[in-house]
Structure 1
Amino acid sequence: MRTVCLTWAKLAFPIAGKVSINGDMLIIWLQLAFCASVIAIAGSRLSFYGDVIADKTGLSGNWIGMILLASVTSLPELITGISASALANAPNIAAGNVLGSCLVNLAMLVVIDFLHNRESFYRRASRNHILSAGFGVLLVSFIGISILFGSMTAELAIGHVGIQSFIIVMLYAFAIRTVLVHEREQRKDFSEAVADRYPHLTLSGALIGYSLAASVVVAAGIWLPFVGTRLAEVMGWNGSFVGALLIAGATTLPELAVTISSIRIGALDMAIANLLGSNLFNTTILAVDDLFYLNGPIYSNVSPAHAFSALSAAAMTGLAVIGLASPPAKRLMRSMGWVSIGMLSIYILNAYVLFYHAQ
């Protein structure tokens, strides 16, 4: 019986090489499961305390999701990108992590739509998300163009940092300011007294709880990419695919946990703002990676396949804008709208291109 089990395991994991099926590989999978479990539990508390902070301060769920939650849940991507650029000299991992994380975040909108089985979640979402999504299209498109023409613009670098990185940071700052000013004006036009939904909690207690949950999410999120990298080495996958799908999927687990938890407590706009805000924050991570990558502008040293990922992210975000501006009235197969099906199709196509054609 033991021989049969080992034979099946070798067929199931043919590229595992010399790694013991019952030893190292099992430990790696257990570490991955442990990280995911810790992030899921801490992420649920993060969403809860974020909602409490929004209630106590009068800030909108959009603001909390876009700034507070997005900055915390994106820290694993930041640490992973710096490590890949400065220590591992792996620009493809760094670029793939950023763009892949954007794609995974957008794919989570499909998950949200699927969980809202009665009607499309776009019909309940705030139209204020259109502005942040529009800036997301602008930033990821600019990154895609920077990668395509990176070798032609290498001489425009300031030191070893590409001029594109400075433009990305300025665009991000302008986007955040514009979104927050717009929302502040919207709230002036519409305000109402809302009863305290958490009378048994204080703002200071919520801030402490939020900080503790954020610390756990960040700690587990920082460890997670290293586990994912080790697993990728065992499986023998290429750098672009690993960065854009495996590592990106690992580092976006905090976003997934926060998104699902936010939906469960009824904070839909906070969940959407977290995903779109994380994508805006992620684009600046590539600029930070460029700073730590000392072999010239990172845009001219990565695979052109990442430009396809940027194009895919822009197209998926564009579909999200359409869904927010004109919510689908009908659901196909009673599961999701045509906007979500289009986004899912683009995500699968991008995964196929990276797996079979990236280097």
Structure 2
Amino acid sequence: MILNVWTEFAVCFVLIAYAGTKLSLYGDVIADKTGLSGNWIGLIMLATATSLPELITGLSSVALAEVPNVAVGNILGACVFNLTFLVIIDFLHRKESIYRRASQGHVLSAGFCVIMIGLVGFNVLLGQRNGWAIGHVGIYSPVIVLLYVIAMRSIFLYEKQQMIEYAEDVTDRYADLSLRRAIVGYGLAVVVVVIAGVRMPFIATELSSTMGWHTSFVGTLLVPVVTSMPELSVTLGALRIGALDMAIANLLGSNLFNIVIVAIDDLLYQPGPLLSYVSVIHGASAMSAVIMTGLTIVGILYRPQTRVLKTVGWISLGLFTIYLLNSTVLYLYEE
């Protein structure tokens, strides 16, 4: 029984890793053929595809299992994990710090991340005292959706202006691949990532029962790790082909879309505003994600050159420290 579960886990992991690499490649081809930036492709196409496991997990948690803590814990935990992946790509990018190469356009999407994650954290900390609702839906949900639309429009207009300014530098780097083939390949890779990624949370649940792990650990730490595997795979795939901006945009875009999932889950959760029925401990994850996003903004604007013991920059070290602190708080104060 244990062997079967771990085997299924390994198979899904391999599928996600392979499809994630293809997703990054074909996403870069589409960006090259259409004139769209890697930032925009990563922010919209890749981020939406890789966040589908979080969406499915959230929907099943509130609509079927009625465990709002798992839904919110998974989303906020995934936001923290996505930012922690920046530490990994900073370590793997040996030429120089990723913050020296990253486009400053990421500051715009990171800024919206701070606003949206902060809004969720604020309402989590209000707890049972939050009575602001439209029917059973919290007033924060339509605000989240509106902020996401504004963010996408603002980033699109910014990237469009950037592409106009540097249009003369654009060259066809994938002459042997047609746009049609890239779109088909991208679609097939999305299907594989979605199928394997959606299955992953259920495998995690089976592992928890098989291994005797506490459900709180599964909801706040294990499930986010599992549902974030597509983001990690796509990010590493983008880094492998040299599409650094696409890798960073995928992580920030996934966090933006993850917060929209809170609004979707809130719509389906019938007892009342979703964030009024979860533990305030999730506020720690929200604040951790806000601090980590702030560190990312500092890194992109300051562009530090030094690395700690030739490993990662001090920004990445700060990100990893906040991740450890958040994990410790969740472990010590689990409910």
Pairwise TM-score range, normalised by the shorter structure: over 0.9
Task: Note if contact 2:127-2:279 (Cα within 8 Å) is conserved in structure 1.
Answer: no
The 5 Å alignment of 1:9-88 reads 24-88=1-65
Distance 2:225 2:31 in 1: 28
Match of 2:79? 102
Match of 1:342? 318
1:112-144: CA deviation from partner (whole Å, max 9, x where unpaired): 111122321110110100110011011111111
Distance 1:198 1:119 in 2: 26
Amino acid at match of 1:333: L
Shift of 1:237: 4.0
Match of 1:311? 287
Distance 2:240 2:322 in 1: 27
Residue number among 226, 230, 242 corresponding to 1:254 in the alignment: 230
Q: Does 1:242 align with 2:218?
A: yes
The 5 Å alignment of 1:137-176 reads 137-154=114-131, 156-176=132-152
1:89-134: CA deviation from partner (whole Å, max 9, x where unpaired): 1111100110011011000000011112232111011010011001
Secondary structure of the residue aligned to 1:179 is helix
Q: CA RMSD in A?
A: 1.2
Q: Does 1:216 align with 2:192?
A: yes
Match of 1:16? none
Distance 1:236 1:291, change over 3 A: farther
Amino acid at match of 1:142: L
Shift of 1:177: 1.0
Shift of 1:271: 0.5
Q: Does 1:117 align with 2:80?
A: no
1:217-239: CA deviation from partner (whole Å, max 9, x where unpaired): 00111111100112123344444
Shift of 1:295: 1.5
Q: Does 1:300 align with 2:268?
A: no
Task: Note if contact 2:35-2:163 (Cα within 8 Å) is conserved in structure 1.
Answer: no
1:295-321: CA deviation from partner (whole Å, max 9, x where unpaired): 111101111110000000000000000
Match of 1:18? none
Distance 2:266 2:80 in 1: 20
Higher-Rg member (1/2)? 1
Task: Note if contact 2:70-2:219 (Cα within 8 Å) is conserved in structure 1.
Answer: yes
Task: Note if contact 1:240-1:303 (Cα within 8 Å) is conserved in structure 2.
Answer: no
Residue number among 315, 325, 334 corresponding to 2:301 in the alignment: 325
Give me the TM-score of the superposition, normalised by structure 2: 0.97
Shift of 1:25: 1.7
Give me the TM-score of the superposition, normalised by structure 1: 0.91
Unaligned 5+ runs, structure 2: none
Task: Note if contact 1:316-1:346 (Cα within 8 Å) is conserved in structure 2.
Answer: yes
Amino acid at match of 2:111: G
Residue number among 276, 281, 285 corresponding to 2:261 in the alignment: 285
Shift of 1:193: 4.2
Shift of 1:244: 2.5
